[in-house]
A and B are shown apart, each in its own frame.
Chain A
């Protein structure tokens, strides 16, 4: 009797799986094949650049002696083509596959509840656990497929069977971990945005634990992080299969938590009881901008906090990096070629800033896309049917796309400059130089925000999707440039390569001005388009 009632809670899972497959029929296959495509293209470029074992060994030595690379991507375990491909591919894929799983699970659980669609489904023959189970099955199978494609592709080009399988399985394991994690965060809050935020913050934390762990001083920290475990599998370098037991254990723990929470709570509710608000609006809530501030401030604070933590950590790590590099005359020589007075610490920061500049662009896109989500949900309509002009409303949110990243990058520059400057004993100049170099990324970030506004104004239906595609293309161009797979002309399509690396080279204002002008032009065209088109 008890089992029968238990099974009832899963009724409808099959139907919901088909619904998920129908709704995600484009996105799901995209992220399933992406890790395999990345792996093959990385393999191809390394095979082209380092075509003898000697060259590969030299490259591996170079990475091992460069703590900046070790910090960002982890150590190279095997100086072979397979080992180096696995090294370059893993950390990139972790972020991709973890976010894909987080967003997919949240989209089919908490977003459905928040929008009220789950209520309609819940009244039909759909059990309490069906939605969670359906999305966990879909993501679980998708992750496995993704891993199989990676393994199959690498075996196909002649990599070792065991290593390819270990690498493929590691991406599946990361996917399962973050899908199960999202299953838990989706139960905890009433808002899908907050659920994704918590998941994203944990991904950042896990990545940071691995960075600090791989820097050597506290190597135990990597063991606290699934991102660290992925490297510890050591594909192509005496694979350690038992690591997968850790992943499976963690996935089981997360799943048990998710189902326990799902069993106890009411539909639509989170863990915290809803709070009462004020009966009257504060006198300041009287403009579209005041409303935009209310709607965007949570996200802004979250990003500022995340960047402050990252800044402190990277500033701190930079000192260790610099010390290790200083003991390596070959690397010092390399940095000397980059420009006059290039310290090893600055070289490290230059690499880190490229990444954080692109992450800040993701925030700018999110802040701009708030316009679209307000429009789609119907909340823009009562405002625009009020004495609020379309431009006024759009600009109220664009302020956050413009000044939000400025704030976030300033905080990163200040915290990173502060911890690095303190450890160097050259507080004043270091702080200032790191801050200015960070802010140099602002115009490039604005170009992405401008592109998003352009799409919102002219192609509203696909604006959200295309905005993320544009950022993705920029990231891939960046990788292609690093691996010398893409010509400089193509590379120049992305705004990021134009940003002057102020810590290691001469300042030049022209590219910054040009990027800012492009960003403003895109935004203006987007605004004009938005004023002309239908709402909704």
Chain B
């Protein structure tokens, strides 16, 4: 019981099909109250479908979804008072000004803080007098972001919110989200920008083909990936390839290049030490490698989704 009270979003076994296409195929997602949760996956993995189910815009075919302790479909309107949403592709009413749209969206949510609104307009350098039809993609994104950030809500659901922003504005966005976390708000952040995810997210979930393939802190995810090793040894490492967790072995005399599962690193190093290490270079996996590995078609993903957070 306590577990559910501290989760802002808890989704399990979510299934949603559009005709013959299965968009979500048993998706799990747990976002704890007060955390910034990264929601990652390749294009078409089902991120936006999940978010639209959480917003009560779509109804799931099967599985359960809880949002702020309520049912996202049946209690949509009450729950929406407590959250703010920034869509990935912001379309606005062409004949309303940016300022009008920010006010309208904020008021429909139960009011927004005028001082915060003014501050955000200044920080994001948005001219609120311009009609929405004249805004660029980035400026439309800013309208939706300011409307969301200036509202006093518990949960922010952001679907690729920085996809049209320049690097300066992107930095501004990161500052704002850091502040939101300090204020105790929960954020679900769908993003492709790895630096943004690394800087902001407490935990991440990676999904592919409608299933959760990984979920945990970045440190835990790193643990699941491989370290690359370059070693000069005293004698040829002939048996190294037969050790568990060693991949892509290249042996050139006494020089060894290979990839090692981080979990097996200790065993492999013990084996190398026995052979006599003359030089050793090891590289931890970069975030890019981490994500590329999960984004690409990978036989391991078709097995059971892995939950490493506990």
Contacts and interface: CB of A to CB of B under 8 A. Distances in A.
Contacts of B128: 279-280
A190 interface: yes
Interface string A264-285: 0000000000111111111001
A290 B109 CA distance: 15
Interface in B52-82: 52, 55-59, 76-78, 80-81
A329 interface: no
Nearest to A275: B131
Given A279-B97, A386-B80, A379 B91 contact: yes
A390 B74 CA distance: 11
Nearest to A532: B59
A324 B227 CA distance: 99
A291 B95 CA distance: 11
Contacts of B99: 277-281
A377 interface: yes
A535 B58 contact: yes
A379 B93 contact: yes
Contacts of A285: 100, 103-104, 107
Interface in A356-407: 377-379, 381-390, 392
Given A277-B131, A286-B104, A387 B110 contact: yes
B133 interface: yes
B133 A274 contact: yes
Interface core residue of A280, A291, A294 (most chain B CB under 10 Å): A280
Interface in B89-118: 89-97, 99-105, 107-110
What bracket does the count of chain B residues touching chain A fall in?
A: 35 or more
Given A276-B130, A279-B99, A281-B99, A385 B91 contact: no
B87 interface: yes
Contacts of B97: 276-279
B270 interface: no
A101 B177 CA distance: 51
Nearest to A298: B95
A387 B77 contact: yes
Given A276-B130, A285-B104, A387-B77, A534 B57 contact: yes
A194 B175 CA distance: 42
A220 interface: no
A534 B76 CA distance: 13
A249 interface: no
B120 to A, nearest CB: 13
Contact of B94 (A191, A275, A281, A387): A191
Contact of A386 (B59, B96, B105): B105
Nearest to A268: B133
Nearest to B59: A534
What bracket does the count of chain A residues touching chain B fall in?
A: 35 or more
Interface in A289-326: 290-291, 294-295
Interface string A235-276: 000000000000000000000000000000000000000111
Given A274-B131, A276-B129, A387 B109 contact: yes
A378 B87 contact: yes
A535 B57 contact: yes
Chain A interface main SS type: loop
Given A275-B131, A382-B144, A388-B77, A281 B108 contact: no
B96 A294 contact: yes
Given A275-B131, A285-B104, A534-B59, A387 B80 contact: yes
Nearest to A379: B91
Given A382-B87, A385-B80, A385-B85, A280 B100 contact: yes
Contacts of B78: 387
Contacts of B133: 114, 190, 274
A428 interface: no
Contact of B108 (A114, A274, A288, A535): A288
Contacts of A290: 104
A422 to B, nearest CB: 39
Contacts of A392: 77
Given A191-B94, A277-B100, A278-B99, A387 B81 contact: yes
A386 B109 contact: yes
Given A277-B100, A278-B97, A534-B59, A382 B105 contact: yes
Contacts of A190: 94, 133
Interface in A93-149: 114
B134 interface: yes
A339 interface: no
A536 B52 contact: yes
A280 B108 contact: no
B87 A281 contact: no
A111 to B, nearest CB: 12
Interface core residue of A114, A191, A276 (most chain B CB under 10 Å): A276
Nearest to A383: B108
Contacts of A277: 96-97, 99-100, 129-131
Contact of B93 (A295, A385, A388, A535): A295
A281 to B, nearest CB: 3
Contacts of A287: 108
A444 to B, nearest CB: 32
A395 to B, nearest CB: 14
Contacts of B57: 381, 384-385, 534-536
A278 B110 CA distance: 21
A279 B129 contact: yes
A287 B106 CA distance: 11
Contacts of A536: 52, 57-58
B140 to A, nearest CB: 11
A381 B157 CA distance: 13
Interface in B107-153: 107-110, 128-131, 133-134, 144
Contacts of B90: 382
B87 A381 contact: yes
Nearest to B55: A385
A377 B91 contact: yes
B92 to A, nearest CB: 7
A63 to B, nearest CB: 47
Interface in A152-201: 190-191
A287 to B, nearest CB: 8
Contact of B103 (A281, A379, A384): A281
A212 B185 CA distance: 68
A520 B87 CA distance: 34
A377 B92 CA distance: 9
Contacts of B77: 387-389, 392
A275 B132 CA distance: 11
6 contacts: A276-B130, A280-B128, A385-B80, A386-B109, A388-B77, A388-B80
Given A280-B99, A382-B144, A383-B108, 18 more contacts: A114-B133, A278-B129, A280-B128, A281-B100, A294-B93, A295-B93, A378-B87, A378-B89, A378-B91, A385-B80, A385-B87, A386-B109, A387-B77, A389-B77, A390-B76, A534-B59, A535-B57, A535-B58
What are the 9 closest A-B residue pairs judged by CB atoms, nearest first?
A: A277-B97, A281-B103, A281-B100, A286-B107, A535-B57, A385-B85, A387-B81, A378-B91, A279-B99
